Amino acid sequence: MPIQFVRLSTCSRICKKTVEREGEQETKLFDEFMCQCKTSGGSLQKSIADARTKIPELESAIEASSGKKSQLETDLANHKADKAGAQRAIAEATALRNKEGASFKKESAEDKAEIATMVKSVASLEGGLAGSFLQTNTATDLHHMVQNVDMDDSDRQAVLSFLSGAQGASAPGTQVVVGILKTMKEEMSKGLGEARELEKNAEGTFASLMGAKKMEVKAATRMTEEKLQRVGQLAMEIETMKHELADSKECLADDTKMIAHLTKSCATKEGEVKKSRAIRQEELVALADTVKILNDDDALDLFKKTLPGSSSFLQIQVSAHEVRNRALRALRSSRRPRVELDFISLALRGKKVGFDGVIKMVGELANTLKAEQAEDDKKKVYCAAEFDKSDDKKKELQRTISDSKSAIGKAKEDVASLAEALGKLAAGIKALDASVGEATKMRKEEHAEHSALMANDGTAKEVLGFAKNRLQKFYNPKLYKPPAQRELTDMERATQAAGGSVEAASFVQVQAHHSQPRQESGGVIAMIDILIADLDKEMTEAEVTEKDSQADYEQAMKDAQAKRATDSKALAESESEKADLEASLEELTAAKKSAGKELKATNSYIMALHSDCDWLLQYFDVRKEARSSELDSLTKARDVLNGADFSFLQVGSIRAHHFLGM
């Protein structure tokens, strides 16, 4: 057309392009939102699937580890029992070996003494000292030995008869006695050698047994330590898996809620976008119809005829001053003051800066606003992530501290219980030692009383026997037992010098007394026999009582020794267990203290995050909206400066306004 004007359809075209641009922008945002829905939903679905797979695996692992722990605890009890049995066997074998060794030493010493006595006796008898030998201590020792040693009765009677100085045809000669003593010496020497061999074999057997039992104790101790360590590791693994199981269940519940909310939000947004698209499509159809109507030639001719000056009101003739004013009005629509906007406004009012310079300033400010928004978006994501991570760490540390408190309380109770048990064991051992000392003292006193009784009764018997023998010499010489050979008196030596016999003189004297027996002699001798019988009975009863008391004492000592060994072992084990518990308590206390320090640091970090992020998160939407308004104002101002006329509809006459319905 030759005239330079813009048809009314230009407005409709601009509106149509605006609507289409808004639709494209909305479609882009919707596609990004749905992409986020799919991405987040996929991540949540994967997290839920992983949790549902992981939870049964953790439950199975906890059950399996608990079974292993129970089996290890059973094995541990068996190892402790084996160790206790081996230690008990060592104690019993040691006690028995000590007793056997002491018995061997005693018997060996007695045998050696008896052999030495026989050697001296043989040497004296073979040296022709038979007469003086009977007056020596060696003869007394030999007499005592022959009475107590195990030998043939006829040999015993022969030696005793010889030692008593018996005379006559039936009395044994020196050679006979020497032969008996030599035979006894050979048998005793042989027996002593056999006893030594048996003792040597017993010592070897005891050493082998001790070696084997000590190896058992060592092996049981090693296995106990290993399995104690494994039980501790399994206990820690089980607790860790239990916490992990609880966390997995909690995460599964949170993810399930989140995906339900996300699905609902995405569905709602999809419905809103569909509705908005339908409305926009209707708007585009209306605008297209409007463009078609206004572009019709008949309508244009009608407008020329009915609207005078219509050719001018549609002609856009805008001055630079008007453009600046429009740009300023667009900038004033910003919701918040900004120094950069003030500089741009000053540039527009001053008219010193061309449109290109102002457009450049507007572009730079727009880029600044976009960069600020991008920085806010980045910081918002960072703050949210840091809050989540810090809260998770805080919960974990709080749970660790709570678990440590429970474990510390349990450990303190166990230590207190063990300390009480240790006190009771130590007191029991002390009381047992006191009882053993008291029993030993009492046994010694009883033995001393027994020895004194036996000595006194023996002496009394000897006195009574001597008295009886003296009466027998007077009243019944046939039953008289002459004393051992003694040194002759002067009278006896004179008798021998005159050719007489001491024994004959004595015999004559006895016969002379016997020729005048008295009836009272039988009563006195009978009374002496009764007294001797009473003494024998008392000594026999005392021997039985002493033997029973000694047996009871030895059994009591054996039981006390076994109990002390058991209590000492229990005390050592309890002390070791208490030391382990105290070490564990120190570790738990240190772990709790460390977790407390870390929790304090985490709380400080969370406070710092609040200080840094709360304002941004609280005013993020407001700042974003304000910044969006500023960008919109800048865009309009830039478009005005570039030649766009958003308010061209206000440039015509009032009739144009009425025609467009504005």
Let me know if residue 307 belongs to a domain: no
Tokens 């400010």 belong to 365
- What six digits make up the tokens of 151? 């030998």
For residues 87-108, average pLDDT: 89
Chain Cα centroid distance, residue 444? 49
**Span 407-420, pLDDT tens digits:** 888 888 888 888 88
Let me know if residue 445 belongs to a domain: no
DSSP track, 62-85: HHHHHHHHHHHHHHHHHHHHHHHH
Tokens 């089980």 belong to 238
Let me know if residue 19 belongs to a domain: yes
Domain count, the chain: 1
Alpha carbons 160 and 454: distance in angstroms, whole number: 23
**Span 101-116, pLDDT tens digits:** 899 888 888 888 888 8
Let me know if residue 548 belongs to a domain: no
Whether the CB-CB separation of 85 and 219 falls below 8 Å is answered with no
For residues 144-149, average pLDDT: 82
Q: Name the 3-class secondary structure at 152.
A: coil
For residues 639-645, average pLDDT: 60
In the DSSP assignment, the letter for residue 169 is T
Q: What is the 3-state secondary structure (H, E, C) of 262-317?
A: HHHHHHHHHHHHHHHHHHHHHHHHHHHHHHHHHCCHHHHHHHHHHCCCHHHHCCCC
For residues 185-205, average pLDDT: 88
Whether the CB-CB separation of 132 and 223 falls below 8 Å is answered with no
Whether the CB-CB separation of 383 and 617 falls below 8 Å is answered with yes
From the CA atom positions of the chain, what is the Rg in Å? 63
Predicted TM-score of the model (pTM): 0.34
Whether the CB-CB separation of 49 and 255 falls below 8 Å is answered with no
pLDDT of 544 > 90? The answer is: yes
pLDDT of 6 > 80? The answer is: no
Q: How confident is the model at residue 234 (pLDDT cuts 50, 70, 90)?
A: confident
Q: In this predicted structure, what is the pLDDT of residue 545?
A: 92
Q: In this predicted structure, what is the pLDDT of residue 8?
A: 46
Containing 162, the helix (H) or strand (E) segment is helix 153-163
Between residues 130 and 38, which one has the greater pLDDT? 38
Residue 1's closest CA among 275, 247, 303, 268?
Answer: 303
- What six digits make up the tokens of 400? 């660790």
Q: In this predicted structure, what is the pLDDT of residue 654?
A: 32
For residues 383-401, average pLDDT: 89
For residues 558-568, average pLDDT: 88
**Span 249-283, pLDDT tens digits:** 888 888 888 888 878 878 887 787 788 778 867 76
Q: In this predicted structure, what is the pLDDT of residue 60?
A: 92
Let me know if residue 578 belongs to a domain: no
Host domain of residue 252: 8-269
Alpha carbons 582 and 571: distance in angstroms, whole number: 16
Alpha carbons 246 and 78: distance in angstroms, whole number: 35
Q: Name the 3-class secondary structure at 79.
A: helix
Q: Provide the sign of the torsion angle of the four alpha carbons 132, 135, 141, 144, taken in this order.
A: positive
Among 444-458, 605-619, 643-657, which is the least confidently predicted range?
643-657
pLDDT of 78 > 50? The answer is: yes
Containing 308, the helix (H) or strand (E) segment is none
Q: How confident is the model at residue 292 (pLDDT cuts 50, 70, 90)?
A: low
Q: In this predicted structure, what is the pLDDT of residue 656?
A: 32
Among 187-191, 297-301, 452-456, 634-638, which is the least confidently predicted range?
297-301
Whether the CB-CB separation of 361 and 643 falls below 8 Å is answered with no
Q: How confident is the model at residue 643 (pLDDT cuts 50, 70, 90)?
A: low
Q: How confident is the model at residue 449 (pLDDT cuts 50, 70, 90)?
A: very high
Q: In this predicted structure, what is the pLDDT of residue 74?
A: 92
Average pLDDT, the chain: 76
Among 35-39, 309-313, 348-352, 559-563, which is the least confidently predicted range?
309-313
Q: In this predicted structure, what is the pLDDT of residue 15?
A: 62
DSSP track, 469-533: HHHHHHH-GGG--PPPP-PPPHHHHHHHHTT--HHHHHHHHHHHHHTS--THHHHHHHHHHHHHH
Q: How confident is the model at residue 64 (pLDDT cuts 50, 70, 90)?
A: very high
Q: How confident is the model at residue 2 (pLDDT cuts 50, 70, 90)?
A: very low
Let me know if residue 79 belongs to a domain: yes
Between residues 579 and 276, which one has the greater pLDDT? 579
Phi-psi region of 264 (alpha: psi -120 to 50; beta: other; left: phi over 0): alpha
For residues 426-446, average pLDDT: 89
Q: How many CA atoms lie within 13 A of 199 on its CB side?
A: 17
DSSP track, 575-624: HHHHHHHHHHHHHHHHHHHHHHHHHHHHHHHHHHHHHHHHHHHHHHHHHH
Let me know if residue 90 belongs to a domain: yes
Between residues 197 and 327, which one has the greater pLDDT? 197
CATH number, domain at 120? 1.10.287
Let me know if residue 632 belongs to a domain: no
Q: In this predicted structure, what is the pLDDT of residue 580?
A: 86
In the DSSP assignment, the letter for residue 441 is H
Q: In this predicted structure, what is the pLDDT of residue 604?
A: 84
Q: In this predicted structure, what is the pLDDT of residue 314?
A: 39
pLDDT of 508 > 60? The answer is: no
pLDDT of 540 > 90? The answer is: yes
Q: Which of 1-5, 130-134, 394-398, 628-632 has the highest mean pLDDT?
A: 394-398
Q: In this predicted structure, what is the pLDDT of residue 493?
A: 63
For residues 396-400, average pLDDT: 89
Whether the CB-CB separation of 340 and 365 falls below 8 Å is answered with yes
